[in-house]
Amino acid sequence: MAYSDKVIDHYNNPRNVGTLDKAKNNVGTGLVGAPECGDVMRLQIEVDENQIITDAKFKTFGCGSAIASSSLATEWLKGKSVDEALSIDNMDIVEELALPPVKIHCSVLAEDAIKSAINDYRVKNGLPALELPKSHH
Amino acid sequence: MLTFPIYLDNNATTPLDPRVLDAMMPYLTNKFGNAASRNHAFGWHAEEAVDYAREQIASLINCSPKEIIFTSGATESDNLAIKGVFEMYATKGNHIITATTEHKAVLDTCKHIEKLGGKVTYLKVNEKGLIDLKELEEAITDKTILISIMYANNEVGVIQPIKEISAIAKKHGVLFFTDATQAVGKIPVDVEADGIDLMAFSGHKMYGPKGVGALYVRRKNPRVKVTAQMDGGGHERGMRSGTLNVTGIVGLGKACELAKQEMEADTARISAMRDRLEKELLTIEESYVNGSVEHRLPHVTNISFKYVEGEGLMMGVKDIAVSSGSACTSASLEPSYVLKALGLSDDLAHSSLRFGFSRFTTDEEVDYAIGHVKEAVAKLREMSPLWEMYKEGIDLNSIEWAEH
């Protein structure tokens, strides 16, 4: 199966690989997937006092499409408000990276990672966790 | 001079040896006769070539040329052996014994047998990939007609104890069939010494062409028969109808002749390259060889690099062509059933690469592959949250993963 140029670019030059201090109150961490399934994503956001995401980092165990999906997600998250970030849909990632049907689950995982990181941030800051639709993959 | 990508997937298929192509060329051009045409020179030439190929093949595996049935490849040979025995020996019984690590061509054929009302026992293997001989013997009933155990495994290269298996089969009067696709042409296979009754193999795994294979069917002690699975002209002693693929058969014959002449020298050179690559890659932290290293084909190694995912890793080693036990592209997302049968956890099965070497692999290519894989593993581990957790001393089993 051939990868799209954008997937290859993100794979070769992943944006924002790294780790934020998960102990900090303004950092939200999402860890989704499972090693048994062949993909695990950890996505972290750092939020300023105006609810703007100033930094985002990821680490991913998975195929090229999973790495590209999380790399792209961190790019999109930076500069968005937390509320705006919630509107990122997995199909946007599918479209941007031209993922084939068999790789759609990678984009779903990235969306889950974003929402999970936001929820972690909300709970840390005394906000109720958002009801997330049950993982649909 | 290196040419990319470097081919290290020789258990999937091997390149055609130029000497094999040379032998085939006349039969692709002016010697185009049908081997079944008995009344003119075109047919005679074709039949002569087929007979010669039979001898070349028989000489490699130590059988009579009359015991070779030509097929389209190992998958057809597997089907013909299992279904053919099931039908031919229906009055004797309906039970077949095989193993969980067999090729799909055997496993799916056995599934078909079950649909037809047959009984199949699937033996487990140990962590080395070997079946338990005691379990095999205990599985035999008075209804058992066939034991079907592969000679060597295609994913990890593990060689089963063929002589011991055939001795058990003989003791109980059960036929023994082996899928020897990965073994013939690579290691000495002797149907007499090994006590094999039926054996499948193919051309393209031993530097021959695709689309041709053979089924060895024993004619003496005991005389074995299989029911044909295709109706037609009654070729190949009535066991496999269809105009003979003369070109392919000539290629298979030549490939067998070369294998016989060069196996010893090839094995010494190829296994040295395999061992070197394996030793170097095992210097990578948390890397493991899958399956037995004592009972193994000389030209393959299967290694798991923990905390990196196989498909992602294959993308990182784009300069070499290998295969992975990760099945991220398959709809099921299930990793290799062979590696799982060896007891590997799913995450380790997802992290595996298979390296297969050939007569044409060079030391320079091996050197490049070693460096290339090391770099890719290091890069992906930098990106892997699991690697980070491992380094922090977090037990990954203590985490509640959201299974999906």
* pLDDT one-digit tens code per residue, B92-146: 999 999 999 999 999 999 999 999 999 999 999 999 999 999 999 999 999 999 9
Q: Per the residue annotation, which of A37, A91, A98, A132 is the catalytic one?
A: A37
A2's CB contacts (< 8 A; 6+ apart) are none
Q: 3-state class of B382 per DSSP? A: helix
* pLDDT one-digit tens code per residue, B165-180: 999 999 999 999 999 9
Q: Give the helix/strand (H/E) hosting B339.
A: helix B337-341
Pairs across A and B, CB distance < 8 A: 97
B202 labelled binding-site residue = yes
Positive or negative: CA dihedral B230, B236, B242, B247: positive
Which phi and psi angles does B134 have, rounded to 5°?
Answer: -70, -45
* pLDDT one-digit tens code per residue, A115-135: 999 999 999 999 999 877 655
Sole residue written with tokens 């011991």: B164
Mean pLDDT score of chain B, rounded to an integer?
96
B154 labelled binding-site residue = yes
What are the pLDDT tens digits along chain A (137 aa)?
A: 678 999 999 999 999 999 999 999 999 999 999 988 889 999 999 999 999 999 999 999 999 999 999 999 999 999 999 999 999 999 999 999 999 998 999 999 999 999 999 999 999 999 999 877 655 44
Tokens of B287: 């890397």
Are B309 and A34 a contacting pair at CB < 8 A? no
Tokens of B128: 């080395």
Among chain A residues, the shortest Cα distance to B381 is held by: A61
Q: CA distances (Å), B7 to each of A135, B225, B289, B329, in order?
A: 40, 40, 20, 21
ipTM: 0.93
Q: What is the per-residue pLDDT for B331? A: 52
Residue B335 pLDDT more than 90? no
| First-last CA distance in chain B | 46
Among A14, A33, A42, whose Cβ lies nearest the Cβ of B404?
A: A33
Are A59 and B385 a contacting pair at CB < 8 A? yes
Residue B176 β-bridge partners: B147
Among A9, A63, A97, the strongest candidate for a mutation testing the B interface, having the largest count of B CBs within 10 A, is A63
Closest Cα partner for B292 from B150, B178, B159? B159
Q: A110 touching B, CB under 8 A? A: no
Residues of B annotated as part of the active site: 328
- The Cα angle at residue A48 between residues A46 and A49, in degrees rounded to 5: 145
**Chain B 228-247, CB below 8 Å of chain A: which residues?**
none
Which phi and psi angles does B279 have, rounded to 5°?
Answer: -60, -45
* pLDDT one-digit tens code per residue, B19-48: 999 999 999 999 999 999 999 999 999 999
Neighbours of A5 (CB within 10 A): 10
Could you tell me where the DSSP H helices lie in B4-89? 18-28, 41-61, 74-88
Q: What is the per-residue pLDDT for A46? A: 98
